[in-house]
Amino acid sequence: MSAPDLQPIGVFDSGVGGLSVLREIRARLPAESLLYCADSGYAPYGERPIEEISARSLELGAFLLARNAKALVVACNTATAAGVKAMREAWPDLPVIGMEPAVKPATAATQSGTVGVLATVGTLASAKFAALLDSFGQDVRVVTQPGVGLVELVEHGELDTPTARDLLQVHLAPLLAAGADVIVLGCTHYVFLRPAIEAIVGPAVKVIDTGAAVARQLERRLCASRLLADGTQPPRVTQFWCSGDTRQVGAVIDRLWGAAGAPHPLPPSHSFRSRSVLKEALP
Ligand code: DGL
């Protein structure tokens, strides 16, 4: 086994969205090796039962720990809301970094007094998000909008197509009509739609996300645990795994990350019911 500081950092998301966090980590911690799991075969997580997302988060965490990860980053707001507590209970000595919509900085930045949050149904319905609003949403108006369909767009590499722009228009209109001058991207996938979003909302509206803050928090935790790579050892690597169609997901990873080579296949989930069973169970 390698020295702890040479072990990789494990990162996962319901798909390719967490690459927006991975790139912040890569920029901040260039000496670290990174393992990334894109659970695209089961995306989107946002409308799935909390218990299933939590169980899948434990599966993916265990998968990354079996590959010697020294820390885990849940690069998914939805999986953090559903599963980070169970992960911290399962691995109490491990740095497990989660993420949440940037409501706190948004409330500090707004001039109009209205903040918009675009996130998945799962994140917006979570107890964690309710607690976030209780802590930071008291002095401003927070208007929320579920970004139904947006994760699927990014999973298909549709970042700035007419379809993407039309759907964004639909989701952003209520936030703009409410007077929001700061819009929080509360889903890591949405960060890849930022140019299209900014074109719709215009320069007077600030668009913010949490990726850079997560990378800083990861650095602090690794530093406190004396796990930071010092950069004097052999060059770092970045490795990818995915569920679903390896070739299709690989093509999107190449587009969003740069040539990464074909991702390795993830073992199938024991936590999620199949999509067809899920559809039957939905109202
Ligand atoms: N990237 C995930 C997030 O930040 C998307 C969740 C989903 O698949 O619905 O919430």
pLDDT tens digits along 37-81: 999 999 999 889 999 999 999 999 999 999 999 999 999 999 999
pLDDT (0 to 100) of residue 261: 79
With beta carbons less than 8 A apart as the criterion, state whether 154 and 76 touch: no
d(CA 31, CA 46): 33
43 lines ligand 1 (CB under 6 A): yes
Examine the pLDDT at 280 and tell me if it is beyond 70: no
Looking up tokens 């885990």 gives 72
39 lines ligand 1 (CB under 6 A): no
DSSP per residue over 224-280, as a string?
HTT----S-SSPP-EEEEESS-HHHHHHHHHHHHS---PPEEPPPPSSSPPHHHHHH
- Please list the active-site residues: 76, 187
Examine the pLDDT at 206 and tell me if it is beyond 70: yes
Q: In the structure, what pLDDT confidence band is assigned to residue 232 with cuts at 50, 70 and 90?
A: confident
Nearest atom (ligand 1) to Cα of 76: 4
Q: In the structure, what pLDDT confidence band is assigned to residue 277 with cuts at 50, 70 and 90?
A: very low
Tokens of 45: 């997580």
Rg, the chain, Cα only = 18
Examine the pLDDT at 4 and tell me if it is beyond 70: no
CA-proximal residue: ligand 1, atom 8 (nearest):
44
Nearest atom (ligand 1) to Cα of 79: 10
Nearest atom (ligand 1) to Cα of 190: 1
Of 9-13, 135-139, 149-153, the one with minimum mean pLDDT is 135-139
Ligand 1 pocket test, candidate residues 78, 128, 184, 275, most atoms within 8 A of CB: 78
User: Which residues lie across from 182 on neighbouring strands?
Assistant: 115, 206
More confident residue, 235 or 217: 217
d(CA 79, CA 123): 8
pLDDT (0 to 100) of residue 129: 97
User: Which residues lie across from 265 on neighbouring strands?
Assistant: 242
64 lines ligand 1 (CB under 6 A): no
> What percent of the chain is modeled with pLDDT above 90?
86
Examine the pLDDT at 183 and tell me if it is beyond 50: yes
> What percent of the chain is modeled with pLDDT above 70?
95
Q: In the structure, what pLDDT confidence band is assigned to residue 275 with cuts at 50, 70 and 90?
A: low
44 lines ligand 1 (CB under 6 A): yes
Contacts of 262 (CB under 8 A, 6+ apart): 246, 247, 250
Examine the pLDDT at 276 and tell me if it is beyond 60: no
Looking up tokens 């265990």 gives 62
Residue 148 has a CB neighbour count (10 Å cut-off) of: 15
Output the CA 2–ligand 1 centroid distance in Å. Answer: 32
Examine the pLDDT at 238 and tell me if it is beyond 60: yes
188 lines ligand 1 (CB under 6 A): yes
Q: In the structure, what pLDDT confidence band is assigned to residue 222 with cuts at 50, 70 and 90?
A: very high
Q: In the structure, what pLDDT confidence band is assigned to residue 283 with cuts at 50, 70 and 90?
A: very low
Contacts of 191 (CB under 8 A, 6+ apart): 17, 20, 185, 209, 211
Average pLDDT over residues 140-148: 97
Strand locations in the chain, DSSP E? 9-13, 34-38, 71-74, 96-97, 114-119, 141-146, 182-185, 206-208, 238-242, 264-265
271 lines ligand 1 (CB under 6 A): no
d(CA 77, CA 83): 10
Tokens of 106: 């948004």
pTM: 0.94
